[in-house]
Amino acid sequence: MADVREEEVQLIGLWYSPFAMRVKLALSLKGVEYQNLEEQNTWDKSELLLKSNPIYKKSPVLFHRGHPVCESMIIVQYIDEEWRLQGKPILPAGHVERAEARFWVYYVDDKLYPSLRNHVAATAQEDKEKAAAEAAAALHPLEKAFETASKGKPFFGGDDIGFIDIALGCFLPWIRALQKLDGIQILSDNTFPNLSTWAQNFSAHDAAKVVLPDNDKMPEVIRTFRALFSAA
């Protein structure tokens, strides 16, 4: 079992997890060095993970000063506050803007993520198409929200990646892999011109390029999940 070292920042996660990507991206934006404690897979959870997150028993978990912090966007907020003097702020400065950003992050996890999860689990073409349509429907309010949040700039956070960008952007590798595997468009240029341009800007950001996995690797992850779901 890996040791928790109080003097180091450590992260338990899976390389293909959008939730672990969120934390890695926040650390990258802030220029924080950390030790990556890679889990073996989604099902065989390490003793350290089970001990550090006994309630939900899932990654990511960030260790700082020897203490665990759980849940991806709670961790991102923690990073923004703890290293507030490093890099640019991740959350907006104003209270209203912060509340709006937290609302849309909750929306991403409540509406978009379940549709993508269902799409990953689907094996029948009809189920894939239904899940893809639900995911696309979840993106429509975000297409409009981008206009308000970005104020004509490249990101939801304005000139740089912010709170909403992190939450949504780390699902892009999964969306692209599903589109490649199944040939069903979720994030199309015609339907989502704002989000399509935003996705290109997000993926081209130096901090994101360090974190986001190779597009060629993600389809194989989805194939593995589907094989396991089919067997079950």
Q: How far apart are CA 166 and CA 23, in angstroms?
A: 9
Contact 230, 123 (CB under 8 A): yes
Tell me what pLDDT residue 215 has. 81
18-74, pLDDT tens digit by residue?
999 999 999 999 999 999 999 999 999 999 999 999 999 999 999 999 999 999 999
Identify the three-state secondary structure at position 224: helix
- CATH number at 173 reads 1.20.1050.10
Domain that holds residue 67: 10-82
- Domain termination residue (choose one: 24, 57, 82): 82
- Mean pLDDT, the chain cut into blocks of 10 residues (232 residues total): 74 98 98 96 94 97 96 98 96 96 98 98 95 98 96 97 98 97 96 98 97 92 92 74
Tokens of 109: 């996890």
Tell me what pLDDT residue 5 has. 66
133, 159: one domain: yes
Q: Are strands 35-38 and 10-13 parallel, antiparallel or unpaired?
A: parallel
- Measured at the alpha carbon of residue 113, what is the angle toward residues 110 and 118, in degrees to the nearest 5? 120
133, 162: one domain: yes
108, 214: one domain: yes
Q: How far apart are CA 94 and CA 30, in angstroms?
A: 20
Residue 46 within a domain: yes
Of 140, 131, 200, the closest CA to residue 165 belongs to 200
Contact 156, 91 (CB under 8 A): no
156, 200: one domain: yes
Q: How many residues does the chain have?
A: 232
Tell me what pLDDT residue 230 has. 82
Tell me what pLDDT residue 154 has. 98
Q: How far apart are CA 123 and CA 225, in angstroms?
A: 10
Tell me what pLDDT residue 231 has. 79
- CATH number at 59 reads 3.40.30.10
For the chain, the domain total comes to 2
